[in-house]
Every structure is written in C-alpha cells, then in structure tokens.
Structure 1
Amino acid sequence: MATSKDAVVLDVAGHEVRVSNPEKPYFAGLGVRKIDVVEYFVAVGDGILFALKDRPTTLERWPGGYSPDAKMATRADTHGDAFYQKRVPKNAPPWVPTAHITFPSGRTADEIAPDSVAVVAWCANLGTLTFHPWPVDKTDVEAPNQIRIDLDPQPGTDFADAVWVAPHVRELLHEFGMEGWPKTSGGRGVHIYVPIQPRWTFTEVRHAVIALGRELERRLPDRVTMSWWKEERGEKIFIDYNQMARDRTIASAYSIRPKPHAPVSAPVDWEELPDVHPTDFDIRTMPERFAKVGDRHAGLADHAYGIEPLLELAERQAADDGLGDLPYPPDYPKMPGEPMRVQPSRAKRSTSENQ
C-alpha cells in the first residue's frame, strides 16, 4: 500500500486503486473513514463480487459520506448530497467493464458490471455505499437469472413480521420445486433470492412473482398483501412484485446502507434467520462474520430453476379468479394488460364527481 498526504493506493486484485481523501469521515458518529469503507468492501470481496459479478449495477453514491441531515437527490430536486449513478463515470479506468442496458423509457446506458474486487473498491472510492445490481448477466440483459422476493414491512409491522412470513415463502417455493436464499435488507425487510434459468423476459418473471405473492396472500390474508396502493395495504408485509420490473433493483448482499449505524445487507441461513436482527450486521461486524462463515449465498451458484410452475399458477389465477396484471411503477410507460394506474380513493372520488 502506497500512501501520501492526500491519497492511499491499494493493490486490489492486481489493480492499483487510488483512494483519495482516505481520512474523510464517512460515518462520523462511528469514527468510520472513507478508507475504512473501501477496506470493508475488500474484506468481504468474494461475497460482494459474487452478488455483483457481470451484472449491470447502479451505484448509490454518498461522496461526502453519510450524515443524518444528508439527503438523496431526486428528479424533482437534483441538489441532494447523494445520488444514483446509472452510467459509467467518464473517468473510469479501462479495466472497469460495462454492460449496455435499456431503460423502460427506451433510453439506453452503459452501466458498470463489476468483474473484480478492484472494480468494487474503485466504486467505493467514488463514495458508493450501496450497490444495486440488475438480476441479469451482461451476456443477456433481457433475461433475468434471479427472482428477488422483497418482503417489505408496512407501517405497524417490522423486521420480525417479515421474518415470520419468510419461511412461508420458502414452503411455497418448495411446493414448486424451488429453493430460496434469504438475506437482511440492511433495513426493516427481508430479501429472498431464487436462481432461475435465464429463459424468460422481465414481464414473464414479474408475472411469476405476482402469482407467488397472490398465493401467499391467499394463504396468509392477515399477514401479507399484494396491494400496490399504500392506502390498501394495512399493517401487513407487502410483497413488492415490482422489484422484478425492468430497471428495478434492490441493495446487494454486503452493501452498506446509509443509516447512523452503517448496517449492511447480510446473507443468512434459514436456521439463523429467526434469531437475527438487522443491527447485528454492520461495517464493523461483517468482515469477522464473513471470515468465519463465508458467503451464505454461495449456494445460489449451484442451481437454476424453471419458472413454468409459477407461470402455470398465474394462468390458473387468471382463469379461475379473473386475476390479471397489477400496476407498474409510476415512471413506467403504460404496459400491455396493465390495469388503470390510479389510486383507488382518487378513482372513487372521480367517479362520484362525474355521477
């Protein structure tokens, strides 16, 4: 490691990665510096590289570090302290690979597609805390090779409720000949990954997740909801099916979340899931855990399931119960077969006013 007053140069996976302003506070309340963030990602390198390898990846950048009053830039207000970067930075070295992707709008971009821990460390030097990989390989960006089931606690519920629902998801997956691998989101939720054969479109995989979520909702109506509209969800766990829509991503395993205690998204075994809490895993504790137990998601590499049973379930739900598609996110163009994208209370009010 070469050092100077203003930078540290690390040798990572055969590449020199320059870390500028290494002493800059990144989580000031913890005493965590920029160099600590970069070294964290190197310490869990094999794990986060497995989560990101060859996947187009959006970078969630916090170049000034995290602070409680920092805010994320949005389309409406681009002056935030942090931002999402979907295009490869112009100053990227030649050894940073990319993947060409198409957004729902039809616009295209070249996104970083990490192939080494050095690329991850280089992104961390840019202030990247959270990595958001697409569920595809860069060799075929139109065919997802993972289902990602997002158990999202609604107001009145919490992480424990998501943990309670998770084994029921697993049981249902088993009925369709599939297995899932859980992880903490780094927040209040639980994510379950299912490796699939890259043979289906985003639309088909999204339909498969909708079918699975609807069956789970039918079995657990008091605990699970598939309602897109927040006013209809109640105190339940929302199965966020739109996380499988094109260009929708979730925080990767081992990503750092921008919260005061610097939590990380942690792969866990099914057996340990009931006993964990999101605060168990953070930038300080995860390297030791990773060194001890390795990557709990490594088994994903050994499987690739077909989704035909879930698509057949979707067909039965349509034929028997008249259940069609569900709304897409608001920034999407109108999709074929999509129902009216209007909040139910507004639709009722509009109907009442026109009577």
Structure 2
Amino acid sequence: MADALDVYRRKRDFARTPEPAGAVAGGDGERRFVVQRHRASRLHYDLRFEMDGVLVSWAVPKGPTLDPSVRRLAMHVEDHPVEYLHFEGVIPSGEYGGGDVIVWDTGTWEPVHTDDPGAAVRDGELHAEVHGQKLRGRLVLVRRGEGEEWMLLHKHDEHAVDGWDPEEHPRSVLSGRTNDEVLADPDRLWRSDAPADRASVSLLPEPLPDEAIDELGALGKEGTWEVFGRTLKVTNLDKVLFPAPPDGQGPPVTKRELLAYTARIAPYALPYLEGRPLNMHRYPNGADAQGFWHKQRPAHAPEWLRCWENPDADEGETTAYVVPDEPAALVWVANFGALEWHPWTSRAESPHEPTYALADLDPGERTGWDDLLTLARLHRTALEHLGVTGRPKVTGRRGIQIWIPVVPGYIFDDTRAWVEKLSRTVGKVVPELVSWKWEVKQRKGLARLDYTQNAINKTLVAPYSPRPSAGAPVSVPIEWDELDDPDLRPDRWTIRTVLDRLAEHGDPFRVLLGSAQELPEIT
C-alpha cells in the first residue's frame, strides 16, 4: 500500500544522498516546522510543517518574510520524512535537489481555524501560528488555482516587520553555519538533541583509538596487530623507510611510524580509494633504494582484502588488483612496503568511466614554484568562470594537481579532451611558461600541463599518500585561497604534520565527494 513518502523516495538514491529515507511517523507531541535554505539549481527556501506523520512542504523561491506587505510564491512539493527536520549538509550533484542545505529556522507551530491541518491543505488554505527563532507570528498559505502554486504571506500582527528580508539572516539556527560553510565542510552534521560541546558530529569513519597506536608501539621488531577489527602480521617495524627530514629537524622515519600514520589517516583517505583498483609503489628497502610498481594482488593476501579481477587483462598484464574498501586494507598496503598509493580514477564496477577529470601541473627546470602557482591560479579563475567545482592538491614532490568530479557516463576520451581544452586555454595566457612537448628535453625547462593522465589505469597519487622522499612528505589537498599563502610549498606537510592540519582545517577535498557535475563546453 502506498504511503505519503513514496514520491519522496522514488526521486532519491539513498546510496548516494545523505538525506534520510525515513518513515511516516506517529502524530503525538508538539507540531514542528522547519525552513531550510537550499542552494540547488536555484536558491530557494523549503518551508515544511509537521502534520500526519510527515513534513508537508513548499518551496519558496524568495523565502518567507515577516513583512506583511509582501506576497511570496510557494510551490507545493512532495511530503518529506520527519527526520528531515534536522537535515543539514550537501546533496550530491546529479541527485534530485543537488546542492547545499542549512536549517535556516525551526520551531513549533499551531494550526489556526482548524483541528485538521491536513484537510486544510487539501482544501487549499492553511493558517499557521509559528514559534521559530527567526519566524514568529501568523503565516498564511493559499492555493492559487488547481495546480501546486500557492501564495505565502505574513499577517499584520505583533511580530510583523516591514522590509524584513530573509537574506539578511543567512546562518543556520542549528550549527551557526552559512551555506558556504556547509559546502566547504559537509563531513559534519549538527545534533540538536546533544549538548552544545558534542553537537557537532563528524560524518567520517571513527579514527583509530590511541590504544591501538600504543599497542603498535609496544611490539618488538614484528608481531600481530589488531587494527580496525583485523589482525595483521607486521614485520621489520624498526626498519628505516624514509631518511631524516632535509632540514635535520627530526629522526628518520621507520616502518612503525609509517604504519601508525597510515592507520590514523586511513579514515580520511579511504573515500578517495574505496572501490578503486590500486597501483602500489613499493619500496620494501626504503625510499633510498630503488622502488617498483606492484599491481597484482599477491596470493598470500588475507581473504578479507577485496580483489577485483580485470576482465580486460591481456596476457602478461595484471589480472587481479587490491581494492582498499576498509581502513585496515590501507594499513595492509603500507605493511606490504607500498610507500605510495595510486588508485584508479575510475571505479572497479565501471573501469572505463572516470569519476574525476584531472589536471596535472608539472614544473620544468626553468619554471619555479611561483610560476606553477600562477598556472594553478589561472586554472582556478577558469573553473570559477565555468561554474565548475574542483580542488587543488600539492603533490608532496614538485607539482600541483587539480581534481574535478564528474557525473557517470563520461569516458576517458571525454575528460582528456575537456582538460586539454581547459589547459590550453590557460596556457595561452602565459605561453612563456608552458610547453606542450611530450619529451622532457624538448620542453626546454618549461612547465607541462598534463591532460594525458585522463586515461584508464593512469593514476595520480592519492590524497594523503606519502611520497618516497626524505622526511616522508605527503600529497595534501588544499583550498583554492591557499594558493596565495606565501608559505605554501609542494612538500610542506609530512606524515608528522598533516594530521594536525586535518584536525585544524578539515579535508578540503571532502566537498568533491558530493559535487559530481557535467562538464560545460569550453569555447
């Protein structure tokens, strides 16, 4: 039998959207209402009243107001679950209503002139006395004609305010955040039923408890380590894998320290690795020795370590890849001697469809760091002009990469052609900095804007992966405005410092996980 939320559920893929699936609730207790400021294809406000176990909803393009002289268009939309009262976050691009959402106002309400507000809605006129933090007093909704178009107004009462504009009150009443702040940090939600010091809740997987790191530290040169619910045999824990930092500030980095870092960073790095075949750059004798690529999942790998068998593998090619789908898998990879982690930019279930378009800014001998920053800023400007979401990442070595999330359906030829057009447009602005030659010698020391990485099994180093250099530098996502930081360097952060950065600033790449988009035409 159909229920009031069937239309709501049909429009959403709950494997992708963080919105609640919900169920029709009981009708006891105070009636609540919520107004959400929602930046989807267009900015609007969603006004929702709790009645008959659901939130009866209207989309108000210009938002509700306390000004009694103003009439607002309000479009009646599908009922939402009661759990939506406290929904604040980012609906992924490509999903219904994709965009960022804050709880702009919430409180209780009472129906006026009726004991059956559901019937009043069906009859086309609802009077509601609202008790919110921003909205107070009498709101009236009146249907216009036979469709879903309604009119919203505020009565002339003691709460009316002439000229009152909702856009002058942009912050969430739950978290205090603006839409921009939610978009920049969608990995947190606000628990209104929790004390203030515990109300902000991370959506990231739980980090490894300190006790597990202590257990690793207590082991001898080898042993078994319980980590993320898995038992790993760890070996050669005191072997030096990275030379001491070049500035002499600190000792060399041992395998024990690498494993501890990997366990701590795994919950942050996993969203960019899970579901993807992994190319492992192994240095079992440390970064000072010759490394090699290892792609084949070894026969001795534990059964729980996910494997993807490549149906397109020719004779002599890799037939089975490690797919790190849980934090312990990444710790296993590090224990296997992989100092660098290079996930595919497509997922195992759709290996020919990239999920990111990638721009790789590679300096030359004559192009300094300041020149590379100039090129990155020009990419920033171009993407802003196109309305495309992307984020930069320092590589931990010399360069900068820009990751641009795309909707399913593109093939690598599409993303490669688009990034080539983007980069060539940028290159025309500063032709004295850029070479399009393939051979390094032919570039004559100029930078290369490399679009050729947009190809199957062409991989760029993962966010938060170490690099095999002295001091164990890390490839770190940054915000666009950090390109203007005079202290920025491609190898600024190491496995000893990047966790403090994450604790203070969060993960700038997190926004990419909900921002898959179509690539606009570049003319």
TM-score norm. by structure 1 comes to: 0.79
Structure whose alpha-carbon radius of gyration is higher: 2
Q: Quote the residue 2:355 is aligned against.
A: 145
- Within a 5 Å distance, the mapping from 1:298-317 to structure 2 comes to 298-310=510-522, 313=523
Q: Quote the residue 1:285 is aligned against.
A: 497
Indicate conservation of the 8 Å contact 1:62/1:129, yes or no. yes
Q: Quote the residue 1:87 is aligned against.
A: 296
Indicate conservation of the 8 Å contact 1:148/1:192, yes or no. yes
Post-superposition offset of 1:231: 4.2
Indicate conservation of the 8 Å contact 1:150/1:239, yes or no. yes
Post-superposition offset of 1:8: 3.6
Instruction: Give the 3 Å change call, closer, same or farther, for CA 156–284 of structure 1 in structure 2.
Output: same
2:268 is paired with a residue whose SS is helix
Indicate conservation of the 8 Å contact 1:132/1:252, yes or no. yes
Q: Quote the residue 1:321 is aligned against.
A: none
Q: Distance in 2 between matches of 1:97 and 1:108?
A: 15
Indicate conservation of the 8 Å contact 2:346/2:456, yes or no. no
Indicate conservation of the 8 Å contact 2:282/2:293, yes or no. yes
Q: Quote the residue 2:266 is aligned against.
A: 45
Q: 268, 281, 285: which one pairs with 1:64?
A: 285
Q: Quote the residue 1:352 is aligned against.
A: none
Indicate conservation of the 8 Å contact 1:103/1:246, yes or no. no
1:171 is paired with a residue whose SS is helix
Instruction: Give the 3 Å change call, closer, same or farther, for CA 105–267 of structure 1 in structure 2.
Output: farther
- Within a 5 Å distance, the mapping from 1:1-355 to structure 2 comes to 1=215, 5-29=220-244, 30-67=251-288, 70-71=289-290, 82-101=291-310, 102=312, 107-275=317-485, 276-310=488-522, 313=523
Instruction: Give the 3 Å change call, closer, same or farther, for CA 279–87 of structure 1 in structure 2.
Output: same
Post-superposition offset of 1:87: 1.1
1:280 is paired with a residue whose SS is coil
2:319 is paired with a residue whose SS is strand
Q: Distance in 1 between matches of 2:459 and 2:411?
A: 16
Letter in 2 for 1:10: W
Post-superposition offset of 1:227: 2.6
Indicate conservation of the 8 Å contact 1:44/1:290, yes or no. no
Instruction: Give the 3 Å change call, closer, same or farther, for CA 10–4 of structure 1 in structure 2.
Output: closer
Instruction: Give the 3 Å change call, closer, same or farther, for CA 179–94 of structure 1 in structure 2.
Output: same
Bigger relative contact order, structure 1 or 2, given CA contacts below 8 A and separation 6+?
1
For structure 2, list consecutive stretches of 5 or more residues without a partner in the other structure: 1-214, 245-250
Letter in 1 for 2:511: G
Post-superposition offset of 1:6: 4.0
Instruction: Give the 3 Å change call, closer, same or farther, for CA 17–229 of structure 1 in structure 2.
Output: same
Q: Structure 1 or 2: larger strand share? A: 2
1:151 is paired with a residue whose SS is strand
Post-superposition offset of 1:106: 9.4
Q: Distance in 1 between matches of 2:356 and 2:269?
A: 16
Post-superposition offset of 1:84: 0.6
Superposed CA deviations along residues 57-93 of structure 1, whole A, max 9, x for unmatched, are 10011111222xx22xxxxxxxxxx211111111111
Post-superposition offset of 1:105: 8.8
Indicate conservation of the 8 Å contact 1:158/1:188, yes or no. no
Q: Distance in 1 between matches of 2:277 and 2:314?
A: 15
Instruction: Give the 3 Å change call, closer, same or farther, for CA 209–273 of structure 1 in structure 2.
Output: same
Q: Distance in 1 between matches of 2:393 and 2:339?
A: 17
TM-score norm. by structure 2 comes to: 0.54
Post-superposition offset of 1:4: 5.1
Q: Distance in 2 between matches of 1:135 and 1:64?
A: 28
2:341 is paired with a residue whose SS is strand
For structure 1, list consecutive stretches of 5 or more residues without a partner in the other structure: 72-81, 314-355
Letter in 2 for 1:292: E
Post-superposition offset of 1:308: 4.7
Post-superposition offset of 1:7: 1.7
Post-superposition offset of 1:235: 3.8
What fraction of aligned residue pairs are identical, expressed as a percent? Answer: 31
Instruction: Give the 3 Å change call, closer, same or farther, for CA 10–289 of structure 1 in structure 2.
Output: farther
Instruction: Give the 3 Å change call, closer, same or farther, for CA 44–141 of structure 1 in structure 2.
Output: same
Post-superposition offset of 1:307: 2.3
Indicate conservation of the 8 Å contact 2:296/2:318, yes or no. no
Indicate conservation of the 8 Å contact 1:216/1:224, yes or no. no
Q: Distance in 1 between matches of 2:269 and 2:223?
A: 22
Q: Quote the residue 2:123 is aligned against.
A: none
Post-superposition offset of 1:28: 4.2
Q: Distance in 1 between matches of 2:254 and 2:362?
A: 31
Indicate conservation of the 8 Å contact 1:185/1:191, yes or no. yes
Instruction: Give the 3 Å change call, closer, same or farther, for CA 308–273 of structure 1 in structure 2.
Output: closer
Instruction: Give the 3 Å change call, closer, same or farther, for CA 294–105 of structure 1 in structure 2.
Output: farther
Indicate conservation of the 8 Å contact 2:307/2:322, yes or no. yes
Indicate conservation of the 8 Å contact 1:97/1:113, yes or no. yes
